Amino acid sequence: MTIDWGWIADHVDDMWSTTVEHLILTVIAVTVGLVLSLVLAIVALRWRRSYAPITWVTGVLYTIPSLALFTFLVPVFGLSLLTAEVALVSYTLLILIRNIVAGVNGVPAHVIEASRGMGMTDRRIFLGVQLPLALPAIIAGVRIAAVTTIGLVTLTVLVGQGGYGVFILRGIRRQFLTEALVGTVLSVLMAVAVDVVLIVVEQWATPWSRRRAAS
Amino acid sequence: MGEAMIRLEAVTKQYDGTTSPAVAGLTLDVPEGEIAVLVGPSGCGKTTTLKMINRLIEPTAGHIVVAGRRVGDMEAHELRRGIGYVIQQIGLFPHRTIAENIATVPKLLGWPRARIEERVDELIEVVHLEAELRDRYPAELSGGQRQRVGVARALAADPPVMLMDEPFGAVDPIIRSALQGQFLELQREVNKTVVLVTHDIDEAIRLGDKVAILNVGGVLEQYGPPEDVLREPANEFVAEFLGRDRGLKRLGLIPIHAVDLEPGPSLAPAATPEEARQVMARHGVDWIAVVDGTRLLGWAPDTALVGAATLGDVALRPFRTVISHDASLKEALDAVISSRSLAAAVLDGDVFLGMLTAETIGREIVQ
C-alpha cells in the first residue's frame, strides 16, 4: 500500500473545488437546520407540551440510517441538492433543538424576573436576554451538528452531489487507495478546522464568559 | 409626611389550587418619600404583596394605586418602567457590562445615547462604585458591588417608586450593614417612595420609616413607625415577632441627642479638691471629670486630689468611655455598661455635652 503522491500533486485544483462544494453543502445544511431548530425550539418553549413530541419526531429522524434516508428521499425529490439537504438538515435538528431549549432554560430565573420587573416585554427578554445567554449552549450544538454534517456530506455523492464523497466513492470503485484516502483525510481536516473556527466564534460572541474564566 | 404614593385597597391574592389566600384584604398606604418595610414570617405574603404592586402577580381582588393611577389600568411593562425593582439575587444581566446593565430602563424608554451615558456615570458615582468597573461584567464583581449595581439600575430612570425584595439578603452580614447605611444615606438624597420586603426584623427597624408586620396569610397585624411598634406592639404575635429584646431594639432607634444629658460628676479646673469631694459624694462615685468650658480635659480618682490646690494641678487621665452625640442609645448603653464608672461622656466633635449614665438610659426604656 503506497500513496500516489503524483496523483495528489496533479489534483490540487480538483481538491480545492471539491472542498468548496463540501463546505457549501455543509453550510446550507447547518444554516437551514439552525433556523428550523430555532423556530421549533421557540414553539417548544412557548408551548411546553410540544417539547416531547418535537424531540420524539426529530429523535426518530436522527436514528434513521443515513444511507436509507437518502434512498427513501430519491423517489420524492430525485437525485438533487434538495434530497441531500433534506437528509442533512434532518440530522441536525435533534441536537440543535435540544441545545437551544436547554440553553434558554438554563438562564437563571432571577435574571428573567429582573428583566420583567424592569418592564421588558417577553419578546425583548427572549431576544435580548435568553437567546444571548443561551449562546454557549447553542454554539456547542452547532459544533456537533457541523462536525456530524461534514461526515455525512461524503454520502451525498450517492444522490449526485459533489464534495469529498466523490473522491471516496471513485477511489473505492477503482480500488485506488490514494483517492479514497484523500477524500477521507480532507473530510476529517475540514471537521477539525470548522470546529476550531466555531470555538473562536463562541469566544468572540460571548466575551462575558471568557472574562469570568479569566478572573 | 406627603400624600400616599402607593395605596393598597383591600388587596387579596389567592393562588389557584389553594384553600386560603396568600394575602387577605390588605389595605396599606405608603406616603411619598417614605420607606415602608413589609416584614413577617415566611408565608405571610410579603413578596406576593410587593409583586402585586408592579403586577408581576395579579391580585384576585382589590386595587393598587401608584401615583394616583390604578396599576391595573396601565400596560404592565409601561407601569414597570416607572418603578425601580431590586431583588435578592439582583438578577444582573451576565452578558452585559455594568454600564449596559444600569442603562437597561433608560434604553427601554428610548433616551438619547448621550443622556444615557451621562446618567450611567452619575449613578456609578451615586452608589459609590469605582468608575473602572463601568465596562466590567457582573461575574467580575463582588457581591456587595453587584448589589450596588442593582440599586443603580433600579434608580436609572429616576422612578418615584422603588420595590425591593430582600435587597440585602445575598451579602454577608458585615457588608449588609454597610450597604444598609449607604442605602439610607442615598435615600436622604433621592427621596423615593420605597416598599421593601425582608424577613429580618432588625433590618426592618433600621430601614423603615414605617414597618408593616404581616402574619401568615397576608394579615396585617400592625403598621406604623418602628419606634411605635416597638413601644406598643398591637398584639402577642407582633410582640413575639419583635423579640424579647424589643426594648433594646427601640434604644437603637433613639439618638443620644434626643435625651437630656446630665453634667455628671464634673467641675471646672479652678474648683478645689474640697468641692470635688462634695460632687463625688453627691453622685456616689470616687472620681471627678474636669471640664474647661466645653472641653473635656479628663478625669481623676479621689486619691489623686490629695495635696492639690485646684483640680487644674492634678494629673488627669483621659476619658476612655466617650461617645458621639449622634450614636444611638443602644450603642451608648453598650459603652456605659463596659465602663468601670457606668457613665459615658458624650461629645459633639470636641464639645463636651454631658454624661450619659445607665440610669438615664434606664429611664428611656421605661418610657
Any CB–CB contact under 8 A between B244 and chain A?
A: no
Q: What does residue B36 show for φ and ψ, rounded to 5 degrees? A: -105, 125
CA distance B80 to chain A (A): 5
Beta bridge pairs of residue B224: B211
CATH number for position A82: 1.10.3720.10
As a three-state string, the secondary structure of chain B is CCCEEEEEEEEEECCCCCCCCCEEEEEEEEECCCEEEEECCCCCCHHHHHHHHCCCCCCCEEEEEECCEEHHHCCHHHHHHCEEEEECCCCCCCCCCHHHHHCHHHHHCCCCHHHHHHHHHHHHHHCCCCHHHCCCCHHHCCHHHHHHHHHHHHHCCCCCEEEEECCCCCCCHHHHHHHHHHHHHHHHHHCCEEEEEECCHHHHHHHCCEEEEEECCCEEEEEECHHHHHHCCCCHHHHHHHCCCHHHHHHCCCEHHHCCCECCCEECCCCCHHHHHHHHHHHCCCEEEEEECCEEEEEEEHHHHCCCCCHHHCCCECCCCEEECCCEHHHHHHHHHHCCCCEEEEEECCEEEEEEEHHHHHHHHHC
ipTM of the assembly? 0.84
CB-defined contacts A:B, below 8 A: 76
A196's CB contacts (< 8 A; 6+ apart) are: none
Distance (Å) from the C-alpha of residue B216 to the closest C-alpha of chain A? Answer: 24
Q: Provide the pLDDT for residue A213.
A: 47
The whole-number pLDDT of residue B326 equals 84
Q: Is any Cβ of chain A less than 8 angstroms from the Cβ of B99? A: no
Closest by CA to A61, choosing from A79, A40, A31, is: A40
Given a cut of 50, the residues of chain B with pLDDT beneath it are 1
**Counting every residue, how long is chain A?**
215
pLDDT value of position B1:
46
* A126 is a domain residue: yes
A69-96, pLDDT tens digit by residue? 888 899 999 899 999 999 999 999 999 9
Q: Say whether pLDDT at A214 is over 50.
A: no
Instruction: Decide if A154 is inside a domain.
Output: yes
Q: How far is B190 from chain A (nearest CA, A)?
A: 19
A-chain residue closest to B74, CA distance: A119
Q: How many domains does chain A have?
A: 1
The confidence score (pLDDT) of residue A215 equals 44
C-alpha cell at B53: 404592586
Tell me the three-class secondary structure of A22-54, residue by residue: HHHHHHHHHHHHHHHHHHHHHHHHHCHHHHHHH
- Is residue A214 in a domain? no
> Which candidate, A120, A107, A143, places its Cα nearest to that of B153?
A120
Domain around A77: 20-208
Residues of A in contact with B94 (CB under 8 A): 111, 133, 208, 212
Q: Is residue A1 part of a domain?
A: no
Q: Which residue of A has its CA nearest to B135?
A: A208
Among the listed residues A189, A177, A186, the one whose alpha carbon sits nearest the alpha carbon of residue A7: A177
pLDDT tens for A1-59 read: 688 999 999 999 999 999 999 999 999 999 999 999 999 999 999 999 999 999 999 99
Is B87 within 8 Å of A114 when comparing Cβ atoms? Answer: yes
**Residue A160 counted as domain residue:** yes
A215 domain residue, yes or no: no
Residue A96 pLDDT: 97
Cβ–Cβ gap A114/B137 under 8 Å:
no
Domains and CATH numbers, chain B: 4-254 (3.40.50.300), 257-366 (3.10.580.10)
A102 and A49 Cβ atoms separated by less than 8 Å: no
Q: How large is the C-alpha radius of gyration of chain A? A: 20
Query: In chain A, which residue's Cα lies nearest the Cα of B156?
Result: A118
Residues B105/B81, Cβ–Cβ less than 8 Å: yes
> Which tens digit of pLDDT belongs to each residue from A122-165?
999 999 999 999 999 999 999 999 999 999 999 999 998 989 99
Q: Does B241 touch chain A (CB under 8 A)?
A: no
Please give the Cα distance from B248 to B252 (Å, whole number). Answer: 6
Cell 437603637, residue located: B252
In a domain, A81, yes or no: yes
Question: A150 CA to chain B: closest CA distance, Å?
Answer: 31
Query: Closest residue of B to A134, CA-based?
Result: B95
- Would an 8 Å CB–CB cutoff place B47 in contact with chain A? no
Is A7 a member of any domain? Answer: no
Chain A residues with CB under 8 Å of a chain B CB are 108, 110-121, 124, 129, 132-133, 206-208, 211-212, 215
Cβ pair B8, B71 in contact under 8 A: no
